[in-house]
A and B are shown apart, each in its own frame.
Chain A
Amino acid sequence: MKIYGVALLAFCFLTGKFIGNLLGVAIGINGDVGGVGFGMVLLIFVNGYMRKKGWLEPLTEKGILFWSAMYIPVVVAMSATQNVKAAISEGPIAIIVGVTVTLTGFFLVPLISKIGRKKQNN
């Protein structure tokens, strides 16, 4: 049943958030420290383990895949509900940061490809 997949996702999500919040308390900031990341790591492990055991029914998987297909639409809705007016008044920072970081990234490609290749040959 699809709900099994949704429930499994909810479990990973909540556990990840719980770890994130615990970590937040431990370090003394009032927030969620990497909770989404922990949730993702957990889902990757659970998914891999269940697949190996043959426990992952196609329908269960579909329950998770539906939400992953809703990711972009949710991001669009999120974008539409931000304080964009105030953001624009801060100037072209998004363009400056976005362009500089991306172009720098391009020129790191030959550098990293080289390092990796040498090590692989060894």
Chain B
Amino acid sequence: MEIIEKLVDKNGLVFAFLVVGAIMWSSYWVSKNILRKKIPGVAIAIIVGLMLAFFGNKKGIADVSLFGGMAVLGGSMLRDFTVVSTAMGADFSKIKQAGLAGTIGLFIGVIFSFFLGVILASILGYTDVVSLTTIGAGACTYIVGPVTGSALGATSDVIAISIATGVVKVIVTTIATPILAKRIGLDNPHSAVVFGGLMGTTSGVAAGLAATDPKLVPYGALTATFSTGLGCLLCPSIFYFILKIIWG
């Protein structure tokens, strides 16, 4: 037992690969076989992650020495590095395909998610600008929140709230899309492109559209892919300053 403890302690990051791999595998298994893809595996995996954080305190599960490597894998350096790498799938010439409606939807999606998030957070009693910005960013997607939060120096509990907000968005989008599709005219590529930009969460949009009409998935994903990038660009900069001016 002592040997294992020493081994894991010395190879924390490698152990974290194993742990996260196991979480991913079991989450996708549950999503596919038990929930019949009603909730995407990504959302389940992140929820499992958030639940594991209960076993520790300030640094989540990384407070348990065996899982110290999780803080390296989930630290801001690797996170920002992988977030930037996802831009590889985006292509500015594709934004032309999305057209004017798609582009407007994309911007409106980020702007309204952020400010509605901020307004709700301030009603619920948050007053400092950094926390408000972080929670508003979390209302864009579960990645814009933590990227913004750590760039501005938000506390870990506020960052956790912003991740959870983004995950709620994924789940609600996935479940509500097939239910509301008809009512909002979501039955053609044009509205799917707008929808993808407005919602912003790629996993939620893809899963929700797949349950509505699989043919619409690529159209929704087209604009949703740009959303996180746009959010990471606007939230910690322009939006933060706007809030700073308003709240002083």
**Which of under 10, 10 to 19, 20 to 34, or 35 or more describes the interface residues of B?**
35 or more
Q: How far is the CA of A91 from the CA of B164 in the complex (A)?
A: 12
Select one of B24, B46, B108, B231 contacting A112, CB under 8 A: B108
Q: How far is the CA of A101 from the CA of B112 in the complex (A)?
A: 8
Complex CA gap A99/B173 in Å reads 9
Any A CB within 8 A of the CB of B14: no
Mask for B138-176, Cβ within 8 A of A = 1, else 0?
110011001100011101111111111111110111001
Q: Bound complex: CA of A10 vs CA of B23, how far in Å?
A: 28
Q: Contacts A75-B142, A97-B138: A84 and B160 contacting too (C-beta < 8 A)?
A: yes
The answer to whether A40 and B70 touch across the interface, beta carbons within 8 angstroms, is: no
**Residues of the B chain whose Cβ atoms lie less than 8 Å from the Cβ of A10:** 81
Q: In the complex the two chains form, is A109's CB within 8 Å of B160's CB?
A: no
Q: Which of A31, A81, A94, A103 contacts B74 (CB 8 A)?
A: A81
**Residues in A whose Cβ lies below 8 Å from that of B24:** 72-73, 76
Contacts of B61 in A (CB 8 A): 80-81
Closest to A96 in B: B120
CB distance B191 to A81 under 8 Å? Answer: no
- A100 and B178 CA atoms in complex are apart in Å by 18
Given contacts A83-B58, A105-B112, A116-B102, 10 further A-B pairs with CB under 8 A are: A30-B153, A40-B87, A41-B229, A73-B73, A75-B142, A77-B20, A80-B49, A94-B165, A99-B168, A101-B113
User: Which A residues form the contact surface with B (CB < 8 A)?
Assistant: 9-10, 12-13, 16-17, 20, 23, 27, 29-41, 43-45, 47-48, 61, 64-65, 67-68, 70-87, 89-91, 93-110, 112-113, 115-117, 119-120
Which residues on B are within 8 Å of A, measured CB to CB?
A: 16-17, 20-21, 23-24, 42, 45-46, 48-54, 56-62, 67, 70-71, 73-75, 78-93, 99-102, 104-105, 108-109, 112-113, 116-117, 120-121, 124, 135, 138-139, 142-143, 146-147, 151-153, 155-169, 171-173, 176-177, 180, 184-186, 190-191, 194-195, 198-199, 229-237, 240-241
